[in-house]
Amino acid sequence: MSKAPNWTRDTAAAVHDLPLMDLLYKAHSIHRDAFDPNRIQMSKLLSIKTGGCAEDCSYCSQSARNGAKLPASKLVEVERVIAGARKARAEGATRYCMGAAWREPKERDMDTLVAMVEGVKALGLETCMTLGMLDDGQVVKLRDAGLDYYNHNIDTSERFYPQVVTTRRFADRIDTLARVRDAGIKVCSGGILGMGEAAADRIDMLVTLANLPEPPDSVPINMLMPQADTPLADAPLLDPIAFVRVIATARIMMPRSYVRLSAGRSAMSDEIQALCFFAGANSIFAGETLLTAENPGESADMALFAKLGLKPTECAPA
Ligand code: SAM
Ligand code: DTB
Ligand code: SF4
């Protein structure tokens, strides 16, 4: 049964464009109603297959079409994935996210992917994968293996999408999200800011996410990390306050979703990160590397948490 959309471009823009103090106050109040404002969920990423991707996403170091120099690796061994997950758990992560530079998984890789999910799950961690587009059979296999979350970002507005990626359509992303949701896997979907999009594109992206049949359980908001040899290598830095506005608007539009302050924290000041947490971000990627790019790492994050009085959410018992 289809439902009336909750948000329109105008109602979302009215929130996004509020005076900043009003926007922050509203977002933080809504955040406190649904979450402990001093707890941050930590996910750890591992690139299980790096580089050589057939897609042409203009922000990505892993696209073969960008002329980026990153060599293509093979799918990593299951044992290495489990060892990484064990370490991530010891460092306070509650979710382990495995990412592959694929347009979509090949059938011959499915058994290995299933073994990875089963092994990580057995450690008591939540499991997440991001593997590109999935078909009906693949979502069922991953669900039956115990996959908790699937990450598949819409990245930007439908209007701006063709300027960022040409090898697939925005609608392809929405289709995969529907398959994942219908199989009962939790949806993780968000986007990237700072790719030259207008504020209206950032607002439209949030409208699309909030109006999905169910809002995503997890909404990663990435700040573009410009990558050498990609079309966006020289993209100008987005004003951090514009970034904070999107975090706050996401919190207001999707009150019960985890909003993740994702890529780009290594270029952000403590003050901007603190503002993002106040605005309703309650999840981060932990560790020194994301998939290929740098991240602040455990000691910097623990120092930041200590300064702000934040605590990681506790890990589910094994
Ligand atoms: N290949 C899969 C896919 O594209 O769905 C999974 C991996 S892909 C790297 C996951 C997400 O990381 C992208 O959708 C994008 O939002 C984000 N991302 C990739 N490169 C980035 C960059 N340079 N800066 C910020 N976010 C980035
Ligand atoms: C997401 O939204 N951000 C993560 C995760 N989902 C897979 C990836 C960020 C990648 C940053 C660039 C890199 O490490 O290559
Ligand atoms: Fe491939 Fe994903 Fe990078 Fe796009 S974002 S080039 S699909 S790895």
Q: For residue 4, what pLDDT is reported?
A: 57
**Ligand 1 centre from 229 Cα, in Å?**
16
Q: Name the H helices within 122-239.
A: 136-145, 170-182, 199-210
189 inside domain: yes
pLDDT for residue 91 = 85
Ligand 1 centroid–CA 60 distance in Å is 6
pLDDT, residue 262, reads: 97
Ligand 1: residues with CB < 6 A are: 59-60, 99, 101-102, 130, 132, 152-153, 155, 192, 222, 224-225, 227, 263, 291
Q: Total domain count for the chain?
A: 1
Q: How far is the CA of 100 from the centre of ligand 3 (A)?
A: 8
- Could you give the C-alpha distances from 232 to 54, 143, 171, in angstroms and in order? 18, 35, 23
| All residues at 6 or more sequence positions from 293 whose CB lies less than 8 Å from its CB, including other chains | 61, 225, 227, 263, 266
- Which residues are designated catalytic? 53, 57, 60, 97, 128, 188, 260
Q: Which tens digits make up the pLDDT trace of 104-163?
A: 999 999 999 999 999 999 999 999 999 999 999 999 999 999 999 999 999 999 999 999
CA dist., res. 220 & res. 189, Å (int): 6
2 domain residue, yes or no: no
pTM of the complete model: 0.96
296 C-alpha vs ligand 2 centroid, how far in Å? 14
Residue 1 domain-assigned (yes or no):
no
Q: Ligand 3 — pocket residues by CB below 6 A?
A: 53, 55, 57, 60, 62-63, 101, 132
Domain extent for 297: 9-312
**Cα–Cα dist 137/160, whole Å:** 31
Beta-carbon contacts of 298 under 8 Å, excluding residues fewer than 6 positions away, are 91, 286, 287, 288
Closest C-alpha to ligand 3, atom 6 = 63
Ranges of residues in the chain with a pLDDT under 50 are: 1, 317
Query: 4 in a domain, yes or no?
Result: no
Residue to probe by mutation, ligand 2, list 192, 291, 295, most atoms within 8 Å of CB? 291
Is residue 93 included in any domain, yes or no?
yes
DSSP-derived 3-state class of residue 289:
strand
Q: What is the CATH number of the domain that holds 94?
A: 3.20.20.70
